[in-house]
Amino acid sequence: MPVMNIIEAINNALHIAFETDDRVIAFGEDVGFFGGVFRATVGLQEKYGVERCFDTPISELGIMGFAMGCAQMGLKPIPEIQFADYIFPGYDQIVNEIAKGRYRTGNQWSNGMVIRTPYGGGIHGGHYHSQSIEAQFLHTPGLKVVIPSDPYEAKGLLLSCIRADDPILFMEPKRIYRASKAEVPLEDYMIPLGKAKIAKEGNDLTLIGYGAQHHQNMTAAAEAEKMGISVEVIDLRTLNPLDIETITASVKKTGRCVVAHEAPITGGFGGELTALIQQRCFLHLEAPINRCCGFDTPYSNAHEKRYLPDSPRVLISILETMKY
């Protein structure tokens, strides 16, 4: 199998989707002729034509409204929002129209689409290119949220999203776009949505994360192992639908849990995970559930390294939880 980075795996998945389903189209700012600012859509316009892969004006509101119209006409749109930070002009269309399509139309229109967008920090992009906005969309019924952590996961999850019949926000951790590499089959394959992955088994503590944060968690778990602490690491893959069964089984086994994500701690998805785990595992817990997250400040270039919950910060949270 060839070794790919996440960009290459996403591009490979898109080519497969275009080849196997002529309803699939892709569009966004610089998506067509240039192949995307991160090069994820390279070759699509050249191979499949400007009717199926094309550039749009700089209007996220227009991109999302157009995507909804395409979906309702039977196409499978894959609109790209160039950076997750730019998604908010299209927020009304996504939250009030696209996500609620099934409900509003009595299940006649599902608005099935995949909204691709790079997200997260670690590339010195400042506050307009570094935010983690997943929690704001997880509060929206009718919208699925998927975040891969490596190339193999990215391809399989993206193909599953494209073939689903619901609107899905596919958030791509750009910090590891090219840093994460893995063997990826060239053939068509899918990873089911709503199924988390136990990336490392352990007995003393459960460590939960997703996207680029998963790699920091794995490094922290390896360091904890040297100290005699056995950490079980869970990569969520999909935040909605959430695999609460895998999480619950792990925490009941270990009795301790740390949740880590880049987004600010207040109102972050870690708070929801903490509540769900506490509700289901209360009698099994040996310590309070700990969160290792971003700070409640705008994202700062100057303090990026201190802002991100890197592996040393995660390790501190692990040790605090073990000492309780």
Rounded to an integer, what distance in angstroms lies between the CA atom of residue 226 and that of residue 178? 29
**Beta-carbon neighbour count of residue 279 at 10 Å?**
10
Rounded to an integer, what distance in angstroms lies between the CA atom of residue 252 and that of residue 193? 23
Residues 6+ apart with CB under 8 A from 286: 255, 256, 324
Which residue in 270, 217, 206 sits closest to 239, CA to CA? Answer: 270
Structure tokens at 53: 């892969």
Structure tokens at 107: 């299940």
Rounded to an integer, what distance in angstroms lies between the CA atom of residue 7 and that of residue 66? 25
Tell me which H or E stretch contains 183: strand 181-183
Active-site residues, by number, are 129
Q: What is the CA radius of gyration of the chain?
A: 19
Burial group, residue 252, by CB count within 10 angstroms (0-12, 13-18, 19+): middle
Tell me which H or E stretch contains 104: helix 101-104
Rounded to an integer, what distance in angstroms lies between the CA atom of residue 167 and that of residue 240? 12
Rounded to an integer, what distance in angstroms lies between the CA atom of residue 218 and that of residue 310? 11
Rounded to an integer, what distance in angstroms lies between the CA atom of residue 137 and that of residue 70? 22
